[in-house]
């Protein structure tokens, strides 16, 4: 699932091609992706509105329009593609049968493209999601801030002061520390990839109970969270499977990971074989020496 660095990379890449553009027409091909709004009215509601801003909140993207706001959650396999009017389409997509193939580049509208926004001068924004776990919501004005899914999100980790967030760790919690990092109400945007990376950098075992963490360990962990997220953004996200940038390209962070996806390989710090386990129902990789 795209996490904060992937969604922020997408946001930054969409600012220029979308801001100030008028939606000429819209098409929603899979109505069940739309939450709490009549699908039959979706196209008419969007028609004629102008994109004022592209915003990220946690793992959500928000297109603030002249009258309403369109909230997008990419789910497991969602891709937002900015398709300029004269962009060459990758013909490999035409041969995609199951959606499991991972071709790159601007794609034509295929059976997995569930939303199309036609913009000024022939440009388009395409939402493609083979596994259809993504979600869309259309809300009035700037009310996206109070939407139930976004209002409950915790602070933005790149904006947080570690000292302040450290005080919000539940003092007597028996939860594993990784489970806390994955809790979007504790801090927004951290998922499985960057939780593993932050815990490795901080030298904290993912199964440690939250109540056992000392003050300096909490600060070290929160600083590590910021570091790994910034690194992920620097390299434009981690393409492990489905994640694509709006131009159809892959992120470059995967080969720079220290823990996630490296179970069975040598630790890049001490050489010990990294171990795989399950924490909070998520596959987890850690070093038994560096993260005792």
Q: Which residues are catalytic?
A: 2-3, 59, 282
171 phi/psi in degrees, rounded to 5: -60, -35
Alpha-carbon span 45 to 82, nearest angstrom: 21
**Strand pairing class (275-279; 113-119):** unpaired
CA distances from 171 to 24, 66, 175, 176 (A): 53, 45, 11, 13
Distance of CA 247 to the CA centre of its chain: 16
With tokens 């409950």, the residue in question is 152
CB atoms within 10 A of CB 17: 19
Q: Which residue has the tokens 């699932």?
A: 1
Instruction: Classify 172 as helix, strand or coil.
Output: coil
Residues 6+ apart with CB under 8 A from 66: 49, 50, 52
């Amino acid at each position: 699932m795209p996490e904060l660095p992937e969604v922020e990379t997408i946001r930054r890449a969409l600012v220029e091609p979308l801001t100030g553009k008028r939606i000429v027409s819209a098409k929603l091909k899979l109505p069940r992706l739309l939450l709490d709004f009549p699908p039959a009215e979706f196209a008419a509601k969007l028609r004629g509105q102008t994109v004022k801003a592209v915003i990220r909140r946690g793992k959500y993207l928000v297109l603030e329009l002249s009258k309403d706001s369109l909230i997008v959650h990419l789910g497991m396999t969602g891709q937002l593609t900015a398709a300029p009017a004269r962009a060459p389409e990758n013909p490999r997509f035409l041969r995609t049968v199951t959606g499991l193939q991972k071709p790159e580049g601007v794609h034509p509208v295929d059976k997995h493209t569930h939303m199309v926004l036609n913009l000024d001068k022939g440009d388009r924004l395409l939402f493609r999601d083979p596994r259809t776990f993504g979600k869309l919501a259309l809300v009035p004005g700037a009310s996206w801030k109070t939407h139930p899914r976004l209002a409950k999100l915790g602070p933005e980790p790149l904006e947080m002061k570690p000292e302040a967030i450290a005080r919000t760790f539940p003092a007597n919690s028996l939860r594993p520390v990784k489970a806390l990092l994955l809790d979007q109400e504790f801090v927004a945007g951290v998922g499985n990839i960057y939780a593993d990376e932050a815990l490795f950098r901080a030298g904290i075992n993912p199964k440690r109970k939250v109540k056992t963490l000392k003050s300096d360990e909490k600060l070290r962990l929160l600083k590590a969270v910021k570091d790994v997220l910034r690194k992920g953004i620097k390299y434009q996200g981690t393409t492990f499977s489905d994640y694509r940038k709006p131009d159809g390209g892959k992120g470059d962070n995967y080969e720079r990971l220290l823990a996630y996806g490296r179970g069975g390989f040598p630790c890049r710090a001490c050489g010990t074989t990294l171990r795989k386990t399950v924490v909070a129902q998520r596959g987890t990789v850690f070093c038994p020496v560096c993260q005792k």
